[in-house]
Amino acid sequence: MSDDPNQATPPQPEELQAQTGATETPADADVPKAVGATSASGDAAKDGDKSPLRPRSATYRPSHKATFVGIGVVVGILAINAGAITYFINTQDSANQAVNREDVTLSAETLGGLGVSRNPVGTKGTQLTIGPDTQFNGEVVVGGDVRVQGGLKLSKSFTAPEGSFTTLKAGKASLSSLNVNGDATVNNLISRKDLTIAGSSRLQGPVTITALTSITNNLNVSGNLAIGGVLSAKNFQANTLTSTATLKIGGHIITGGSGPGISKGGGVSGVATVNGNGNDASGTVNITLGVGASASGTLASVEFSNAYSGTPRVLVTPFNGGLGNFYVTRNTTGFTVHTTSTLGAGSYGFDYFVVQ
């Protein structure tokens, strides 16, 4: 050591201490210790404190309870967000539905912006062309005509106050009123109520009527009419009536038709007249012989207005004294009455009835 008073005093030597297991922090290591002084950790070791000091660089580890609480909070926040989003979406859908039910007007500019095809249709304005698979959830009201170029398929019923169809094909149709101006082809027609036909009706196939049918006007049947039950008619007219079984008539038989030609026979001489009335089926012939007249041989001839297809059967019944010994000759065009007796002046006659 120098004795110069101006020379700086050298620092005291540092006393080194043995390490007791405590770890000095970097901050403690940078602070110089005085000579003879001991560190805090050394003093604690000397005082018998055996708890080690925790380093400042150790990692914090939360407990299990804190972990579960944190997860619960996160789940709750997510649930609240999901509920808010769902409520917002439902609100938007309700608003859209409310808007869709209102009237919407699309101008030409709007249609152009949407890329919709616009073609003039007369003076009607703009034509709206929609693509396939278009669905209208609400009611659609069309103020004008609707033309469908393709097929029209309906999942439910079709209701219209009146309709005009060129050709209508329907598997099952219920019509309260049907007016057909042209031809109609029906495979199976069931009428629950009245069926009124104003014009002519032609039924080419079999017709089966199970209930009472009332016809207030004329019914013309050009073909065959087969009736399996009872036919009741107030007035019945037929050009030809054929019955393959027993024909039972409960009332009178009144024949009609054009009158036949009646002429005097060659066996009548003198002042005499022969006349009559009736038709081809039945009638009466009157023979009047004047004073001095007589009759023997052919008395009278009857010529049918319409010839029979075969030789008919003629039934003659004399009246007013008879015709003596008489007989009848006949053919398809008429018949003649003869007598082998001689008839004097007087009135004679006979009734006839002809069937084939």
> Model confidence over 243-265: pLDDT tens digits?
788 888 888 888 989 999 999 99
**Residue carrying structure tokens 């000579």:** 35
> For residue range 313-354, what is the model confidence (pLDDT) as tens digits?
999 999 988 899 999 999 999 999 999 999 999 999 999 999
The mean of the pLDDT values for the chain is 76
Distance of alpha carbon 118 from alpha carbon 61, whole angstroms:
72
Q: How confident is the model at residue 22 (pLDDT cuts 50, 70, 90)?
A: very low
Distance of alpha carbon 45 from alpha carbon 210, whole angstroms:
126
Higher per-residue pLDDT: 57 or 276 = 276
94-105 CB burial, b ≥16 within 10 A, e <16: eeeeeeeeeeee
pTM of the full structure: 0.41
Q: How confident is the model at residue 31 (pLDDT cuts 50, 70, 90)?
A: very low
Least confident of 37-46, 75-84, 196-205, 280-289: 37-46
Question: Given this model, what pLDDT does residue 35 score?
Answer: 42
Question: Given this model, what pLDDT does residue 40 score?
Answer: 44
CATH T-level assignment (fold) for domain 261-355:
Immunoglobulin-like (2.60.40)
Distances, alpha carbon 250 to alpha carbons 4, 118, 199, 253, in Å: 182, 80, 35, 9
Q: Enumerate the β-bridge partners of residue 272.
A: 289
